[in-house]
């Protein structure tokens, strides 16, 4: 189903997904050990809804919103209802679609069947008022339900059963369901063959678990490669180390967050690591080698270091001294690798201490529904946030001054790994961030913009989301047009680092960003907007003859609007953005070595020409955009928030997250 088809739909589309993951390792092991020929490898999530005689099983899913693509709708619904981490598929391959009627309410729906592979079958019941229970069933049990039989005396929804007639679309429904069950059967058979190939008589549970984790990691890697599609290049760039590339190329470090929960749960010797992404392996190798090199200097083994730190016989001051020596060694290594000085190391350290609190603060301010929910920025805020590099490194490898239980160990390893990733990524980008910020502060562009667009001529009150907002109007001398001059603050390191998980840090250009909005829009406003940009470039060339003046990016998002095309329900390049729905021209302007992002909005408002949006509609959407880009995923890969707060470790965060307006 194309997005344009969805936009023209007359009936509400409800997704229903075969959400499938691997059965637990111990279940597969016992089946193989007992010699079963038909080993149940997959588990499918089914949900129970309703009560009494109306209790039914169903597949995860729900209504697609009018302003979202069906792929986004599938990911949102699966996330909301199950809390499962999806593997990553670009289009959640469509199995089939058909119309049916909800008997009790006499409401028509269009069912869209899809397949969604997941990493984890949730161990925690997701809090959702519409769902009374979640179960993981085998392929045989799922097939039995679809064939009209009951499970625990409960049937499946009528439109998901071969036995129930839904009217004129009944044949289409049966074909769709048949395609789905055959497809799931093929996957189950393929996995059964794969597991039988690794099975050996006399194999221990531990040996089997190692092979199980390798297979799981292989599928995880495949998912992220399909979902994000830019694995680390085989041939490294000149003057770039492996770890620098892992942090700022390929998946920009997002893959490390994706695999980190598995490393946290299984330790640094996780067998699946050999099938993880190159970036993840490089990250782990760098940290492990750093610790090993230090211990070699100290003539200690890892086990001796662990015993020294955990022993009650070791004086606490001796433990502190050794950790501080490890800290100094690691900082020295970081300074050499990233070519940073002590001041820059300290700068990054302090920035990262505030990164997660700032992230949560931004989300809370954008969505009032989350103010009460995301109160816990860290579980171990003092233990991790105040730790030096040496303590972080030792904690990540399970070396502490105290003995923790397994749950605490997993939590500490995850949070220290996450913190180390942020710190190293910050080190990789701090020089570029400082240089670009200083260029704007001490450069010519800000003065040029002030001179070209003129002084404030008047102020107006406008209404945005029901609140009054004061804007400054300027009379642009070159075009004699009144414009709103929307100048943003210089980019913060918090924003820079967050964006660095989406693209190369040296390609981030919007350190200085302005928006120019035509107040009195006319029919030829788009033409006037293009003339304004051309006049500004002429102004720069005329006044700064000794400097190069150019535009490196020119994105014209006015063409579909001008041609009266109906845009597809699709997001822009950046996660959560609105793409061509925003009618504007966006450019990156260069003056010498300075750069500025300039967006020109020909229309103050396009409220009467939906789905297109002018500047006012963009301002009204901004809070939702801030939340969308954090909470929602793309192409089956979880969003940054879910990668930072992994459900199986921070399971309470899911219940808080789905309070967001995005899920309402």
Residues in the chain: 664
Q: Is the dihedral of CA 15, 20, 21, 27 positive or negative?
A: positive
Q: How many helices (H) and strands (E) would you count in the chain?
A: 23, 13
Indicate the pLDDT class of residue 479, thresholds 50, 70 and 90: low
Domain identity same for 81 and 56: yes
Which residues 6+ apart lie within 8 Å of 217 measured at CB? Answer: 259, 262, 272, 273, 274, 275, 276
Domain identity same for 123 and 225: no
- Which domain-ending residue is among 394, 429, 464? 429
Q: Is a pLDDT exceeding 90 seen at residue 19? A: yes
Number of domains the chain contains:
3
Q: Is a pLDDT exceeding 60 seen at residue 485? A: yes
Helix, strand and coil percent figures for the chain, each rounded to 5: 50, 15, 35
CA distance 346 to 328: 13
pLDDT tens digits, one per residue of 25-44 = 999 999 999 987 778 899 99
Domain identity same for 17 and 134: yes
pLDDT tens digits, one per residue of 515-545 = 999 988 777 899 999 999 999 999 999 999 9
pTM: 0.91
- CA 119 from chain centre, in angstroms, equals 15
For the chain, the straight-line distance linking the first and the last C-alpha, in angstroms and rounded, comes to 24
Q: Pairing between strand 456-464 and 133-137? A: unpaired
Domain identity same for 74 and 174: yes
pLDDT tens digits, one per residue of 208-245 = 999 999 999 998 998 888 777 766 665 556 678 899 99
Domain identity same for 296 and 337: yes
374-383, 575-584, 655-664, range with the lowest pLDDT = 374-383
Domain identity same for 265 and 344: yes
In a domain, 409, yes or no: yes
In a domain, 664, yes or no: no
Domain identity same for 464 and 545: yes
Q: Is a pLDDT exceeding 50 seen at residue 372? A: yes
Rg of the Cα trace of the chain? 28
Q: Are 89 and 227 in contact (CB under 8 A)?
A: yes
In a domain, 605, yes or no: yes
In a domain, 646, yes or no: no
In a domain, 375, yes or no: yes
Where in the sequence is the domain holding 413, given as residue range(s)? 205-429
In a domain, 564, yes or no: yes
In a domain, 654, yes or no: no
Q: Is a pLDDT exceeding 90 seen at residue 290? A: yes
Nearest-10 Cα torsion for 74, 76, 78, 82:
-170
Domain identity same for 209 and 187: no
In a domain, 338, yes or no: yes
Domain identity same for 196 and 209: no
Domain identity same for 451 and 419: no
| pLDDT value for 90 | 55
| pLDDT value for 477 | 67
Average pLDDT over the chain, rounded to whole? Answer: 86
pLDDT tens digits, one per residue of 387-442 = 999 999 999 999 998 888 888 888 899 999 999 999 999 999 999 999 999 999 99
């Amino acid at each position: 189903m194309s997005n344009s088809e969805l936009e023209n739909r007359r009936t509400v589309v409800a997704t229903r997904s075969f959400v499938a993951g691997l059965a637990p390792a111990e279940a597969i092991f016992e089946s193989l050990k007992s010699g079963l020929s038909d080993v149940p490898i997959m588990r499918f999530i089914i949900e129970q809804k309703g009560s009494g005689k109306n209790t039914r099983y169903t597949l995860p899913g729900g209504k697609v919103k009018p302003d979202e693509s069906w792929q986004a709708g599938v990911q949102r619904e699966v996330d909301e209802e199950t809390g499962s981490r999806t593997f990553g598929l670009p289009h959640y391959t469509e199995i089939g679609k058909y119309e049916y009627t909800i008997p009790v309410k006499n409401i028509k729906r269009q069912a869209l069947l899809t397949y969604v592979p997941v990493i984890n079958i949730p161990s925690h019941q997701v809090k959702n008022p519409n769902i009374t229970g979640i179960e993981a069933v085998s392929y045989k049990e799922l097939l039995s339900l679809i064939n009209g039989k009951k499970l625990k005396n409960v049937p499946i929804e009528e439109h998901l059963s071969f036995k129930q007639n839904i009217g004129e679309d009944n044949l289409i429904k049966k074909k769709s369901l048949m395609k789905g069950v055959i497809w799931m059967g093929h996957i189950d058979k393929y996995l059964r063959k794969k597991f039988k190939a690794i099975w050996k008589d006399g194999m221990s549970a531990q040996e089997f678990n190692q092979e199980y984790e390798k297979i799981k990691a292989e599928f995880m890697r495949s998912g992220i490669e399909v979902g994000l599609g830019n694995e680390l290049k085989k041939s490294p760039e000149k003057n770039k180390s492996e770890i620098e590339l892992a942090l700022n190329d390929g998946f920009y470090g997002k893959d490390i967050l994706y695999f980190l929960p598995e490393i946290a749960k299984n330790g640094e010797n996780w067998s699946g690591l050999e099938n993880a992404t190159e970036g993840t392996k490089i990250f782990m190798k760098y940290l492990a080698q750093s610790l090993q090199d230090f211990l070699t200097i100290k003539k200690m083994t890892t086990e001796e270091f662990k015993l020294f730190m955990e022993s009650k016989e070791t004086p606490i001051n001796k433990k502190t001294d050794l950790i501080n020596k490890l800290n100094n060694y690691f900082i020295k290594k970081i300074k050499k690798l990233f070519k940073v000085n002590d001041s820059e190391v300290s700068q990054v350290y302090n920035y990262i201490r505030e990164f997660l609190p700032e992230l949560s603060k931004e989300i809370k301010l954008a969505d009032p529904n989350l103010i009460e929910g995301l109160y816990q920025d860290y579980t171990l805020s003092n233990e991790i946030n105040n730790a030096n590099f040496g303590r972080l490194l030792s904690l990540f490898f399970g070396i502490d001054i105290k003995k923790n239980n397994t749950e605490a160990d997993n939590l500490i390893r995850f949070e220290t790994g996450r913190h180390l990733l942020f710190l190293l990524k910050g080190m990789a980008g701090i020089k570029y961030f400082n240089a670009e910020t200083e260029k704007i502060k001490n450069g010519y562009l800000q003065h040029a913009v002030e001179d070209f667009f003129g002084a404030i001529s008047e102020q107006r009150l406008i209404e945005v989301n029901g609140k009054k907002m004061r804007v400054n109007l300027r009379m642009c001398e070159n075009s004699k047009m009144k414009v709103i001059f929307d100048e943003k603050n210089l980019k913060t390191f918090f924003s820079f680092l967050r964006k660095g998980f989406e693209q190369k840090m040296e390609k981030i250009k919007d350190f200085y960003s302005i928006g120019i909005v035509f107040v009195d829009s006319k029919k030829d406003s788009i033409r006037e907007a293009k003339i304004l940009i051309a006049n500004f470039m002429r102004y720069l060339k005329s006044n700064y003859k000794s400097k190069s003046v150019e535009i490196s990016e020119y994105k014209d998002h006015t063409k579909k609007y001008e041609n009266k095309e109906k845009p597809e329900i699709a997001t822009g390049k950046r996660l959560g953005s609105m793409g061509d729905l925003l009618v504007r021209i966006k450019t990156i302007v260069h003056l010498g070595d300075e750069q500025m992002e300039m967006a020109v909005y020909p229309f103050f408002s396009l409220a009467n020409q939906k789905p297109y949006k002018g500047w006012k509609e963009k301002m009204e959407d901004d809070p939702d955009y801030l939340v969308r880009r954090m909470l929602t995923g793309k192409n089956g890969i979880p969003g940054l928030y879910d990668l930072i707060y992994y459900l199986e470790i921070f399971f309470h965060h899911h219940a808080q997250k789905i309070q967001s307006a995005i899920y309402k």
